Structure 1
Amino acid sequence: MTSYLVLGAGISGLTAADDILRADPSAEVTVLEGSDRVGGKLRGAEVAGRQVDVGAEAVLFRRPEAVELIGRAGLADRVVHPTQARAQIWSRGGLHPVPARTVMGVPADPDALAGLLTPEEVERARAEEVHETREPDVSVAELVGSRLGQAVVERLVEPLLGGVYAGHASLLSAAASLPGLLDAARQGVSLLSTVDQMLPPPPPGADTGARPPVFATVEGGLHHLPAALAEQLVARGARVVTGTLARELHREPDGGYAVVTGPRPSPTAYRADRVVLALPPAPASRLIAQVSPDAAGLLADVETASMAVLTLAYRAEELGELGASGFLVPPVDGRVVKASTFSAAKWDWVAEAGRGAAPDGGDLTFLRLSAGRHREEATLQAPDTELVSAARAELAEALGRPLPAPVATHVQRWGGALPQYAVGHHARVAAVRHALERVPGLVACGAVFDGVGIPACVQSAHRAVAELTG
């Protein structure tokens, strides 16, 4: 019987454990998680007496990995999609619909940017400067700004990157964030025409509401997914141990591994033939410093972004209609809030959860605001009350009306939550994997490798376990 240790019970680690048992049902699998719960960035919390997501709230439906995992967890019948409410960008004192045909803010038709951009900025985008890019990787700002102008970067690309990576266009890798557009630039092809071909317009008279949905979640909250996965793992014989921080990783003389946990005066050692590392870059780097110094050094240099998710519950009759799914905020506007999700307008299940939830029996409307970008951690140093107060003031300004006091608030801080894909990130990841190939029985997966979204984390775990068990 082969024994495995999976370090980290986020979605990557849970997927890896599931994959191992599918490949070898007789395997001895132990999952060690340093925090008091499974799920990583998928987390629920009680706000005004209702359970809502305070971490990741959706998966990309157009990729199969996460939806298939939801099915594995026995939750396929609870998959739901957003309403038809559209997202907006709050900039220059107004709310503007996010143009329908864009790839991470890069438009197919510059005329759709009118209002958000000035006429001169729209004209600059229309007169795209097409030239060939020779470098293997450049920043998103360099790729887009040099062709379409800085305004497209600042007012469209930046807020969308902030929503995905909590990062900045001047620092993020185009090869990782916009690979299709970088490929076009290498061939000297127009970005506008490339996006136009990637996103063909619907035929005249077509029902745009019939298009396949982009996102999905689990009714009742995405935080149910890791809990269901962990329950299945235990039912199949795995051990899932929370509150157990891995402090050291050592190779044994017989080729296996020992993972040391617990307080230093009385440590506990877990031993296994093989190890899956499913941790953020900093703790992963510390653990493998002895067994793979090269990989450890590469991971140690990966920066991360911290953020906070603020959940607010308002009396529905006092808040009024919201009329959109939320808004994104360009960093150039200098706001505390980088995005807001009008959860009750975006998800029918959240609207239903608010019915009768007010203390007087009335309805509540739940919404979320997020703050914090890469290298802007000072924003998050304010106490919860100050952070909520600043966010509420900006929400009122965005909506253009005074707002009542919320019935309840919740602040979830995510320190070092999102790895930043700097220019050259793909080469760094390839080098990490190459270094780990020289350490038999050890693989790594997670958001630092193949993408920060849930489907990408699932794919990363699939790849790692296939290598380990193949």
Structure 2
Amino acid sequence: MNTDNVDRTRGRVVVIGGGIAGLAAAHRLAGAGRNVIVLEASGRVGGKLHAGEIAGAPVDLGAESMLARRPEGVELARAVGLGDRVQPPATATASVWTRDVLRPMPKGHVMGVPGDPGALAGLLSDEGLRAVVRDRALPPAELGDDVAIGAYVAERMGREIVDRLVEPLLGGVYAGDSYRISMKAAVPKLFEAARRHPTLTDAVRAVQAAAAQAPAGPVFAGIAGGVGLLPRAVAEAVAAAGGEIRTDTRVQGLTRRPDGWEVRTERDVLHADAVVLATPAWSASELLAAESPAAAAELATIEYASMVLVTLAFRRADVTSLPAGSGFLVPPVDGRTIKASTFSSHKWRWVDEGADDLFVLRASIGRYGEEEHLGWDDADLAAVSLRDLGDAVGLTAKPVATEVTRWIGGLPQYPVGHPARVARIRDAVAKLPGLRVCGAAYDGVGIPAVIADGRRAADEILATPTLARSTESDE
């Protein structure tokens, strides 16, 4: 390290991590007139938001949509000039591939937990349907401070509804195991409703009734050209406001000084009045080991799931028999390799802009505790995806292009007790003046939730007296 190159600029906030959480924090800070530097270890910003292309067609190689009924994602897109590119899906009709049959996704559920058992006909066996109905006759359950959603739903409605619907839906969000996932963290509205109502069915209906009062509009949205365009646009907006984005810059150390923070990178040392730590939990744990052993220990316990996305492009003339709809989910209990497939050319109108003679789809592989697929060759991952797609929808065509994207440690897991763990982490971090943490490891893995967490961290930094004084003295 060049110890002569020590930057002592005052009134500065360093954001460590250039994913959408760190960029949202930097955007908020730069908009408030603060001197911001974003340090990203990899060669690009965006993290799991990654726009690319296949055979000339634009595609997302990471997250592809965001919850539109939560405003933060759409708000940020509009703020950085992408408002006219925000689009709802062309179709939101999905299926479940279970017991070797593609079945329509039932309506009237909250993350797979049904409010109308009648909507499950065809998806569940007669025995499974009877188990769901039994919820009405059971006495109220004590949820305590938290409970695993799969275990609780199985207790009230039987394992079959969990294995055939709750598990694939939650797996699509967390790549996790519903029998471990915290109901309080993953489905907080249902958790609170279940504490107030005598049956789980009543709780689901209460959540649905509240949702019906929300303004009409699409549930999900994407961005023409890919959601992966959003971090690039945010980074450009931060730079335009006077901020700096440094990629390929790994932070090696973080030290609290009497007059602020010292951030050590591979090339230099930066002085900052405040730091936003927007990295995965394992990285945050390493950086906080000396300054907050308590926070570091808690962060080290957060586990992650890895997954693979296999994106395939076909000649449209070769796939005319594909069913309509946005794609399908696969229950792990059926023993298939893929856990879901998205028919991108059906779901997003803009995918055809680059090549209207192509049809693009993707398959996802992997969930918590299943990591052997990460070591497979790209060709093997494509072959097993094509095999399952052939069994599911009769696809026999050969792709004209294939893109395999591995997301190692891509999705943090929210087991029972996760909200309490997050509270302990934040309590410990709050004892360090001018430091905040944010990201997918804390309050939600969806794009709007992560953006909201980045903004929260920035707002708390902006309220830090030390930073306010430093900024005033610079002026």
TM norm. shorter chain > 0.5? yes
Alignment partner of 1:250: what SS? strand
Query: 10, 13, 22: which one pairs with 2:31?
Result: 22
Query: Aligned AA for 1:116?
Result: L
Structure 1 residue 130: Cα displacement: 4.1
CA deviation map 1:411-465 (0-9, x unaligned)? 0100001110010000000000000111001100000111000100011111111
Query: Aligned AA for 1:30?
Result: I
CA deviation map 1:197-222 (0-9, x unaligned)? 3325999xxxxxx9520111111111
Q: Which residue of 2 aligns with 1:442?
A: 435
Query: 444, 448, 467: which one pairs with 1:451?
Result: 444
Alpha-carbon separation, structure 1, partners of 2:447 and 2:387: 32
Q: Is 2:52 the counterpart of 1:45? A: yes
Query: 395, 407, 423: which one pairs with 2:400?
Result: 407
Query: Aligned AA for 1:249?
Result: L
Structure 1 residue 174: Cα displacement: 0.8
Q: Which residue of 1 aligns with 2:330?
A: 329
Q: Is 2:132 the counterpart of 1:115? A: no
Alignment partner of 2:264: what SS? strand
Structure 1 residue 402: Cα displacement: 4.3
Structure 1 residue 261: Cα displacement: 1.5
Q: Which residue of 2 aligns with 1:394?
A: 388
Q: Which residue of 2 aligns with 1:242?
A: 247
Q: Which residue of 2 aligns with 1:97?
A: 104
Counting only pairs closer than 5 Å after superposition, residues 303-318 of structure 1 correspond to structure 2 as 303-318=303-318
Query: 453, 456, 461: which one pairs with 1:460?
Result: 453
Alignment partner of 1:45: what SS? strand
CA deviation map 1:224-243 (0-9, x unaligned)? 11111111111111110000
Structure 1 residue 468: Cα displacement: 1.1
CA deviation map 1:145-191 (0-9, x unaligned)? 10011001100000001100000111110111122222233345211
Query: Aligned AA for 1:137?
Result: D
Q: Is 2:283 the counterpart of 1:283? A: yes
Q: Is 2:188 the counterpart of 1:219? A: no
Structure 1 residue 287: Cα displacement: 0.7
Q: Which residue of 2 aligns with 1:372?
A: 366
Contact 1:82 1:216 in 2 (8 A): yes
Query: Aligned AA for 1:284?
Result: A
Q: Give the TM-score taking structure 2 as reference length.
A: 0.92
Alpha-carbon separation, structure 1, partners of 2:171 and 2:375: 19
**What is the total number of aligned residue pairs between the two structures?**
449
**Judging changes above 3 Å, is the alpha-carbon distance between structure 1 residues 344 and 293 closer, same or farther for their aligned structure 2 residues?**
same
Q: Which residue of 2 aligns with 1:359?
A: none
- % same residue: 47
Structure 1 residue 255: Cα displacement: 3.0
Q: Which residue of 1 aligns with 2:260?
A: 256
CA deviation map 1:334-382 (0-9, x unaligned)? 1110111001111111134331xxxxxxx10001111110111113221
CA deviation map 1:277-319 (0-9, x unaligned)? 0001011110111111100100000000001111100011101
Contact 2:51 2:225 in 1 (8 A): no
CA deviation map 1:371-417 (0-9, x unaligned)? 11011111322111111100110011000x24111000000100001
**Judging changes above 3 Å, is the alpha-carbon distance between structure 1 residues 402 and 459 closer, same or farther for their aligned structure 2 residues?**
closer
Contact 1:336 1:379 in 2 (8 A): no
Counting only pairs closer than 5 Å after superposition, residues 3-152 of structure 1 correspond to structure 2 as 3-23=12-32, 25=33, 27-128=34-135, 129-152=138-161
Query: Aligned AA for 2:297?
Result: G
Alpha-carbon separation, structure 2, partners of 1:63 and 1:353: 30
Query: 181, 184, 200: which one pairs with 1:191?
Result: 200
Q: Which runs of 5+ in 2 are unaligned?
A: 1-9, 464-475
Alignment partner of 1:145: what SS? helix
The Cα RMSD (Å) is 1.7
Alpha-carbon separation, structure 2, partners of 1:188 and 1:130: 11
Structure 1 residue 244: Cα displacement: 0.5
Structure 1 residue 107: Cα displacement: 0.8
Query: Aligned AA for 1:398?
Result: A
Contact 1:309 1:371 in 2 (8 A): yes
Contact 2:193 2:204 in 1 (8 A): no
Q: Which runs of 5+ in 1 are unaligned?
A: 204-209, 356-362
Query: Aligned AA for 1:248?
Result: G
Q: Which residue of 1 aligns with 2:379?
A: 385
Contact 1:343 1:351 in 2 (8 A): no
Alpha-carbon separation, structure 1, partners of 2:323 and 2:262: 54
Alpha-carbon separation, structure 2, partners of 1:202 and 1:119: 30
Alpha-carbon separation, structure 2, partners of 1:68 and 1:2: 27
Alignment partner of 1:448: what SS? coil
- Pick which of 434-443 and 267-276 moved more: 267-276
Q: Give the TM-score taking structure 1 as reference length.
A: 0.93
Alignment partner of 1:276: what SS? strand
Alpha-carbon separation, structure 2, partners of 1:354 and 1:405: 17
Alpha-carbon separation, structure 1, partners of 2:139 and 2:126: 20
Query: Aligned AA for 2:325?
Result: A
Alpha-carbon separation, structure 2, partners of 1:280 and 1:89: 32
Q: Is 2:167 the counterpart of 1:174? A: no
**Judging changes above 3 Å, is the alpha-carbon distance between structure 1 residues 52 and 114 closer, same or farther for their aligned structure 2 residues?**
same
Contact 2:193 2:207 in 1 (8 A): no
CA deviation map 1:30-87 (0-9, x unaligned)? 0000000011111022211223110011110000111100011111111111023411
Contact 1:345 1:351 in 2 (8 A): no
Contact 1:85 1:323 in 2 (8 A): no
Alignment partner of 1:447: what SS? coil
